[in-house]
């Protein structure tokens, strides 16, 4: 089975290009320069209608931190329900306590609101005080099917040993380690071999000029797809 390829989309055009070029799944975000915030309902509906591949929607109300107060949490639950109503495949969420641990209570409420949608825990994971401990907590939640992580580094390419450890820790579970942040077309094949990851996540690496705010470059997506198939 070839490695799953998830691509960030910020527009309907991004989504179409990525899907046509061989992406297996989309992560739909707005404000990519801030690490991704919740997109509008109109955008979710339009992208879901435009492509035949699964669309996972980030639910992140602001970029200040991953520690949320009661009002933030209430907004997130509304957005999770809105994403479900807009026929998203899943939601991409993450929340921590002040102590840098997974916020179990808010996560449990979000899973409840998602009502069966796939759950990806996003790179809030990388700010947890102990990644192994954090993964053990997430493995307790059957609904969490993916953990997006760069191994705690700015670029996943600088955390290959950690990624390999996390992949082994999650092995045989319901949860897939989704490696992302800093991946490039040139490095992806060697990275996959070194870490044994089953899923990779691309943002800037498959955009025009490698720039985060540029459109998706279909040729780069197709190149990554071909490299993953070969790997």
Per-residue tokens: 124: 């809030």
Rounded Cα gap, residues 152 and 132, in angstroms: 11
Give Cβ neighbours of residue 109 (< 8 Å, ≥ 6 apart).
73, 77
Locate the domains of the chain by residue range.
4-230
Fold of 4-230: TIM Barrel (3.20.20)
First CA to last CA distance, the chain: 10
Burial of residue 50 (number of CB atoms within 10 Å: 0-12, 13-18, 19+): middle
pLDDT tens sequence for the chain (231 residues): 789 999 999 999 999 999 999 999 999 999 998 999 999 999 999 999 999 999 999 999 999 999 999 999 999 999 999 999 999 999 999 999 999 999 999 999 999 999 999 999 999 999 999 999 999 999 999 999 999 999 999 999 999 999 999 999 999 999 999 999 999 999 999 999 999 999 999 999 999 999 989 999 999 999 999 999 998
């Amino acid at each position: 089975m070839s490695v799953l390829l998830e691509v960030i989309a910020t527009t309907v055009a991004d989504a179409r290009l990525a899907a046509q070029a061989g992406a297996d799944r989309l992560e739909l975000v707005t404000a990519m320069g801030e690490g991704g915030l919740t997109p509008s309902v109109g955008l979710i509906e339009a992208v879901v209608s435009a492509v035949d591949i699964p669309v996972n929607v980030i639910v992140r109300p602001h970029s200040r931190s991953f520690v949320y107060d009661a009002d933030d949490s209430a907004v997130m639950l509304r957005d999770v329900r809105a994403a479900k109503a807009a026929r998203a495949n899943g939601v991409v969420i993450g929340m921590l306590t002040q102590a840098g641990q997974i916020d179990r209570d808010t996560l449990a409420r979000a899973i409840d609101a998602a009502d069966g949608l796939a759950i990806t825990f996003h790179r809030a994971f990388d700010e947890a005080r102990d990644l192994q401990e954090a993964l053990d907590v997430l493995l307790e939640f059957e609904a969490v099917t993916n953990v997006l992580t760069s191994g705690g580094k700015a670029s996943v390419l600088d955390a290959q040993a950690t990624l390999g450890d996390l992949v082994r820790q999650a092995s045989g579970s319901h949860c897939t380690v989704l490696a992302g942040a800093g991946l490039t077309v040139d490095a992806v094949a060697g990275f996959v071999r070194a870490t044994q990851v089953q899923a990779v996540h691309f943002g800037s690496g498959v955009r025009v000029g490698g720039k985060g705010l540029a459109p998706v470059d279909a040729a780069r997506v197709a190149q990554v797809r071909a490299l993953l198939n070969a790997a």
